[in-house]
Amino acid sequence: MLRPLDSGLLVVIEGIDGSGKSTLTRQLAEKLEHAGDCVVLSREPTQGPYGRRLRDSATTGRLPPTEELELFVADRREHVEGLILPSLKEGKLVILDRYYFSTAAYQGARGLDWRRILDENEQFAPDPDLTIFLDLSVEESLKRVCERGDFANSFEQAEALERVRAIYHSLLARRPGTVWFDARELADRVLERAFRVVVEVRSGRAPRNCALTGATEKN
């Protein structure tokens, strides 16, 4: 979905569980606000009614794939109409912890056509100006999930995450405006690199490490 050239900036942070998305999203928003940007920070699924049903299903038992996808799309429509597009039209910098790439990767891993999922979402959801993908092996992902005191839920099983990661690699490999970070790097270094690339995009320059540059090899 195209937007006016004079609108705000949409930055999306993606990656499998344990890759540091939430930490980077929060710290990046704080750093950009300190630098003078008007930042809107959000995540998907949201805390709206559809998003809450999705979050509950992660622990109470996953819904059938098509029903789960319908909830993701409904949640995103509300998110786009109620927060993302209004914020962009006001010239704000919107940073999202997960977006429709996550839906394509995770639902695709359940057997749905991830290309069709992308097509459906791109009919109404604005394209990100920048997508930061935090790449991490599944082994390291599950190790981090355990170390932070969580147990791997139904969204975080090894075989499923391998499929998720493979789809992420396929759908983001040649996508314009995507930068790949090695999520094994120190968090402070990842933050500094992310801040620099947002500033580059904000100033109208293309990010220097597009496409596969800087990506880790898939295990």
DSSP assignment of 90-121 equals TT-EEEEES-HHHHHHHHHTTTS-HHHHHHHH
Q: Taking all residues of the chain, what is their mean pLDDT, rounded to a whole number?
A: 88
Query: 3-state DSSP call for residue 87?
Result: helix
| Portion of the chain with pLDDT greater than 90, in percent | 74
The owner of tokens 């949640």 is 75
pLDDT above 70 for 208: no
Q: What is the pLDDT of residue 194?
A: 97
Q: What is the pLDDT of residue 67?
A: 96
Question: Please, is 148 exposed, middle or buried when counting C-beta atoms within 10 Å of its C-beta (0-12, 13-18, 19+)?
Answer: exposed
pLDDT above 60 for 86: yes
pLDDT above 50 for 214: no
- Could you list the beta-strand ranges (E) of the chain: 9-14, 39-43, 93-97, 130-135, 178-182
**Range 175-204 average pLDDT:** 94
| Portion of the chain with pLDDT greater than 70, in percent | 87
Whole-angstrom distance, CA of residue 139 vs CA of residue 161 = 10
**Range 157-164 average pLDDT:** 89
- Scored b (16 or more CB within 10 A) or e, 160-179 reads bbbbbbebbbebbeeeebbb
**Range 166-191 average pLDDT:** 95
Q: What is the pLDDT of residue 57?
A: 87
Angle at 174 between CA 136 and CA 74, to 5 degrees: 75
Domain 9-202 has CATH 3.40.50.300: yes
Q: What is the pLDDT of residue 149?
A: 66
What is the tens place of the pLDDT at every residue in 132-147? 999 999 989 888 888 7
pLDDT higher for 7 or 155? 7
**Range 187-209 average pLDDT:** 84
pTM, two decimal places: 0.88
Whole-angstrom distance, CA of residue 91 vs CA of residue 209 = 25
Q: What is the pLDDT of residue 31?
A: 97
Q: Which residues contact 177 (CB under 8 A, 6 or more apart)?
A: 127, 128, 129, 130, 131, 201, 206, 207, 210
pLDDT higher for 62 or 27? 27
Within its chain, how far is the Cα of 64 from the centroid? 22
Q: What is the pLDDT of residue 44?
A: 97
pLDDT above 50 for 62: yes
